Structure 1
Amino acid sequence: MKSLSSLCLLALCASAAFCKPTSEKKDRVHHAKDLGEREPDDQKGFQFDHEAFLGKEDSKTFDQLTPEESKERLGKIVDRIDGDQDGLVTSTELTAWIKRTQNRYIDENVAKHWKEYDLNVDGKVSWAEYKNTTYGFYLDEEFSDLEDKASYKKMLRRDERRFKRADKDGDLIATREEFTAFLHPEEFDYMKDIVVMETIEDIDKDGDGMVDLKEYIGDMYSPEDGQPEPDWVKNEMEQFKEHRDINKDGKMDHSEVEHWILPGDYDHAVSEAKHLIHESDRNEDNKLTKQEILDNWNMFVGSQDGKLSREEFLENYTRFVGSAVTDYGELMMVKHDEL
C-alpha cells in the first residue's frame, strides 16, 4: 500500500494507522491463521514449525535467544506438553499443545483489538466504533487529496460486509464472539462464504469471479528478470491442474476455492504434530521422548543465530534431506499461504 505523502500526515494519522483495516492483502483472512501452510520457498526451513509450535510472538522471542537458552526453555515446554508425565509426548498431546497455541494467539489478538475499538467501554464493539477508529482519518474530506482514499473506501466496503456477516443479530453491534468472527472468520463455519469471497476478490484479476492458473501462480510468485523459475512454481502449477481445478475447466470457482483454502477434512494442528513427530522420532514408536525433541530442537524453536553447525547438520542429515519434503509436500500445501 502506498505511503502517505508527507511526514505531517503520517504524524496526524499515527493513532488511526495502528488500527489496520482487515482487508489489506497481507491480512487476507486465509493468511491470518498461524497454522495455514508453509511458504512455498520454506519447505526445507523451520519458520513455519516455529510459529506453529510456539505462536508468532513467542517464536520471535526465541529468535533472540542463544541456542543454549532455546534448548533450556524448550525442555520446560516439553514438560508442560507431556500431560500424563510419562516421559513421552504423543501425537494427541502435541496436537493439543499446537491447538492451544493457536487459540492463544486468537484470544490475544482479539483482546488487543478489543481495547482499541470498544471506545465507550460497554463490552461491545459497534460498527460505528470500528469504522471511526479505523477509517475516520483516512476518509475525512479535509484530507481529500490522500492518494489512498479510493483504496480505503474499497477496504471499508469489504470490512462492512464482513462485520455485518459476523453480526448474527443484525444490530451492528458485535459481542466478543461476533467480533472474533469478524477478525478471524476462518474459525467460524457461518463465515466461510466471506473467507472464500475475499480470497477470490484478492486473486481474481480479470473480474470473472474465478481463479485461473495465471492468477493462482501470480498471487504467490512474481518473476524477476534473469532469474530462473523456482521448482516449487512448477509444482504449484501441477497442484492447480491435478488437485485445485477439480472439474478441469481451467479455473477455480467458488466451491473449488473453498475446497482449497478451507478443506473440511484437514486439521492443521494434527498434520503439524504428525510432521514434527515424523521428523524427530528416532526409534519410530510414533512418540517423542524429551531427548528426541531436544536433539531436534532447531525444528521446534529458533535461536539467535538460527544456524546449525556442520556437526549438527551431519548428525541430523536424514531429517533435513530425507523424505520430509515429498511426504509432507501435499499435506502442508493444502492452501498456499497461515497462532
Structure 2
Amino acid sequence: MIRSLLICWVLLTATSSGKPTERKTRVNQEEPLSHLQHDDNKSFDYDHEAFLGQDEARTFDHLSPDESKRRLGIIVDKIDSSHDGFVSEEELKLWIKNVQNRHMLENVEHQWNEFDLNRDGLISWEEYRNVSYGSYLDGPQTETEYNYSHMMARDERRFKVADRDGDVSADRQEFMAFLHPESHEYMKDVVVQETMEDIDKNGDGFIDLNEYIGDMFSAEKGAQEPEWVATERQQFSEFRDKNGDGKMDREETLDWILPADYDHAEAEAKHLLYESDTDKDGKLTKEEVLNKFDLFVGSQATNYGEVLLRHDEF
C-alpha cells in the first residue's frame, strides 16, 4: 500500500471529503488540539482532547466522579510546575502544548519501526521511499488515479527539508518535522509551497480569487451558492490579498494557512481558566479545577488516563 496517501497529503485531509456545499479549509495552526467542534453548549469533548490528548482518548465510565477527581488532582499537581499551589495560564498553556507534542511523538513512534528497516535508529530517504512506494516502483508504470511519481517527488522534497543535518536520513525529531511540518517553523516554506502547488491551477505562482474559492467549494450544477462563499470572497479581498493585486503571493498564503497571530493552546488555556476561575484572580486552585472536572476530563480519558490507571503512584 502506498503510505504517502496518508502522509504526503496530511495537511489537506480537511479538503478531501464532505458535501459540495460544506466549507473546506487549508488553515493550520500546528498540530490541532482536537478535530472536534469546540462548542461547550453541546459537550466538553474538545476540551477533554485538548487537555488530555486527542487520538488516545478512551472512555472511563467505570470510574466514579470521586475517582475521576482524584486522578485529575494528580494531573493538576503535575501542571503546577512552580509548586506554588496554583495553576497559572502559562502553566496550563505549557501543559496543553506538551500534550500536543506528545501526540506527535507517539505518531512518530507508531510508524518508526515500519520505516527503520535496518534498525540503525534513523530513517533514510531510501527506506521511506521503499516502504511507501515499493509496490509502485516494482510494478509496471501505468496511468492510475493518483500521480505517484508526483507524490513521491513531493515527499522527497519535504523529507530533505526536514533533514536539517543533510545526511539524507531522519532522526526522530526530523521525522516528526516531516510528518507534522505545520508544527515546525523551519518547515513552513515547504507547507506554503505544497499548498500553492495544489491550489494554483494556472501555474502562475499565485492564488487568485477563483482558485481560492474553488479549493474550498465545489458547486453542484444548479445548486445555490451557500452564504459563506460570499463571505469568503469578501475575506479574500479585505484580508487575504493584503497588497490588493487580486491574488495571494507566498507571504500572503503563509499568513492565511499558518496564521502567526493565533495560538490554539493559549486560547484553550484562557478558555479553561475563564470557565474555572470562580474567584477571578487569574489562576486556578486545585479545588477550582476539581469543581469543573467535567470540563477537564468528564467521562473520557486518554493515553494519559491509561498511565494513571497503570502506575502505582496514582
TM-score range, shorter chain: 0.7 to 0.9
TM-score (norm 2): 0.73
Q: Who is 1:186 aligned against? A: 182
**Residue 279 (structure 1) aligned with residue 275 (structure 2):** yes
Deviations 1:278-337 (A, max 9, x none): 333333222223343344444433536xxxxxxxxxxxxxxxxxxxxxxxxxxxxxxxxx
Q: Residue 109 of structure 2 aligns to which amino acid in structure 1? A: A
CA drift of 1:218 comes to 4.7
Correspondences of 1:24-173 after superposition (within 5 Å): 24=10, 25-26=12-13, 31=28, 33-35=30-32, 42=38, 46-58=44-56, 60-62=57-59, 68=65, 73-142=71-140, 147-148=144-145, 150-173=146-169
Deviations 1:146-168 (A, max 9, x none): 833x4322211110111122223
Which ranges of structure 2 fall in alignment gaps of 5 or more residues?
Answer: 16-25, 301-314
Match of 2:9 among 11, 15, 23: 23
Contact in 2 for aligned 1:139/1:152 (Cα 8 Å): no
Identity in percent: 51
Q: CA 1:27 to 1:111, structure 2 compared with 1: closer, same or farther past 3 Å?
A: farther
Q: What RMSD, in angstroms, separates the aligned Cα atoms of the two structures? A: 3.7
Contact in 2 for aligned 1:126/1:174 (Cα 8 Å): yes
CA drift of 1:226 comes to 7.1
CA distance, structure 2, for counterparts of residue 211 and residue 298 of structure 1: 44
Q: Residue 125 of structure 2 aligns to which amino acid in structure 1? A: W
CA distance, structure 2, for counterparts of residue 258 and residue 234 of structure 1: 22
CA distance, structure 2, for counterparts of residue 88 and residue 77 of structure 1: 12
Contact in 1 for aligned 2:4/2:151 (Cα 8 Å): no
Contact in 2 for aligned 1:34/1:52 (Cα 8 Å): no
Contact in 1 for aligned 2:81/2:91 (Cα 8 Å): yes
User: Per the alignment, in what secondary structure is the counterpart of residue 57 of structure 1?
Assistant: coil
Q: CA 1:277 to 1:32, structure 2 compared with 1: closer, same or farther past 3 Å?
A: closer
User: Per the alignment, in what secondary structure is the counterpart of residue 95 of structure 1?
Assistant: helix
TM-score (norm 1): 0.68
Q: Who is 2:311 aligned against? A: none
Q: CA 1:43 to 1:138, structure 2 compared with 1: closer, same or farther past 3 Å?
A: farther
Q: CA 1:121 to 1:206, structure 2 compared with 1: closer, same or farther past 3 Å?
A: same
Q: Residue 108 of structure 2 aligns to which amino acid in structure 1? A: V
Structure (1/2) with the larger helix percentage: 1
CA distance, structure 1, for counterparts of residue 123 and residue 138 of structure 2: 21
CA drift of 1:54 comes to 1.8
CA distance, structure 2, for counterparts of residue 166 and residue 278 of structure 1: 38
CA distance, structure 2, for counterparts of residue 36 and residue 217 of structure 1: 26
User: Per the alignment, in what secondary structure is the counterpart of residue 174 of structure 2?
Assistant: helix
User: Per the alignment, in what secondary structure is the counterpart of residue 136 of structure 2?
Assistant: coil
CA drift of 1:139 comes to 3.7
Which ranges of structure 1 fall in alignment gaps of 5 or more residues?
Answer: 1-12, 305-339
